[in-house]
Amino acid sequence: MKKIFSFTFLLLLSLILSSCVSTATQPPVTSTPVPKSVYRPPSPKLVTPPNITSVRKNITHVVAPGETVWRISKMYDVQIKDIVRANSLKNERELEMGQRLRIPGACPVKPIISLYPSKKWKYIIIHHSATGEGGALQFHRGHTSKGWDSLGYHFVIDNGTSSKCDGQIETSPRWLKQQNGAHCKAASMNHKAIGICLVGNFSKERVTKKQMESLLYLVNQLKKYYKIPRRNIIGHGKVKGATTECPGKKFPWKTFWSNL
């Protein structure tokens, strides 16, 4: 029964992400050079829902922080050489944040979650962005302008704004490098908690259905792999010493808890 549920859930997750693609009508985004020497931790385990190959489209993808052609090829199930050719890339390792890439014959975007062996991660902290719009690229620019070395969260779950799909899971460079977070100072959580930010202001609006499904998929994968107990999966505002209502009073905790 559980297996059937998991499979149905993964299938649903793939389907829910299927309707959204970034198109050529998106506003232009300024490019910022990405460092050339990108840290590559040793082979992580990759988890991802099964492919739904029946719907393929030519789309435009806006490169987010830490993304490589390899990762983008996995996200859309398109070969690296096809992305390189479609964009006349001279060097596939030199992508720039904000760069617009043509992805020929892309499958609906799906999450590519890298799981690195580690004893460091004991908690998962849920945040909201407290903004109506955004994505990893915009938060990265905001956080680096404060002097941080990258986006403070480990994952961002989009709401369909800023050229990203509703429910799309973005992995931050901080997770790819297995660095401490910069999302919750209270109780020294930055040293031991995985930070997940949902785009939206849930003091005023609701988490979208697709965001919740993606959040549950991500949290369940992390919880299982790092053996994080349920009591250690909390909202930012519930951390001892934190003075915030993040992720907002409308965050649907009941739905969340009943599916973990």
Q: Which residues bind Zn ion (CB under 5 A)?
A: 127, 236, 246
* Nearest distance, CB of residue 130 and Zn ion, angstroms: 8
* Nearest distance, CB of residue 198 and Zn ion, angstroms: 10
Burial bucket for residue 103 (CB in 10 Å: 0-12, 13-18, 19+): buried
DSSP helix/strand/coil, 16: helix
* Nearest distance, CB of residue 96 and Zn ion, angstroms: 29
Longest pairwise C-alpha distance within the chain: 52
* Nearest distance, CB of residue 136 and Zn ion, angstroms: 15
* Nearest distance, CB of residue 151 and Zn ion, angstroms: 13
Between 103 and 189, CB nearer to Zn ion: 189
CB 251 within 8 A of CB 126: yes
Cα distance between residue 185 and residue 134, in whole Å: 23
Between 34 and 246, CB nearer to Zn ion: 246
Closest among 154, 113, 109 to 136, alpha carbons compared = 154
* Nearest distance, CB of residue 15 and Zn ion, angstroms: 30
Between 67 and 158, CB nearer to Zn ion: 158
The beta-carbon contacts of 182-188 under 8 Å, at least 24 apart in sequence, are 182/143, 182/148, 182/152, 183/125, 183/127, 183/152, 183/153, 183/154, 183/236, 184/125, 184/127, 184/236, 184/239, 184/242, 186/239, 186/240, 186/241, 186/242, 187/239, 187/240, 187/241, 187/242
Burial bucket for residue 39 (CB in 10 Å: 0-12, 13-18, 19+): exposed
Between 31 and 244, CB nearer to Zn ion: 244
Between 101 and 246, CB nearer to Zn ion: 246
* Nearest distance, CB of residue 125 and Zn ion, angstroms: 7
State which amino acid sits at residue 240: K
Give residues with Cβ within 8 angstroms of 153, minimum separation 6.
127, 139, 172, 174, 181, 183, 195, 196, 197
Between 60 and 180, CB nearer to Zn ion: 180
Between 116 and 256, CB nearer to Zn ion: 256
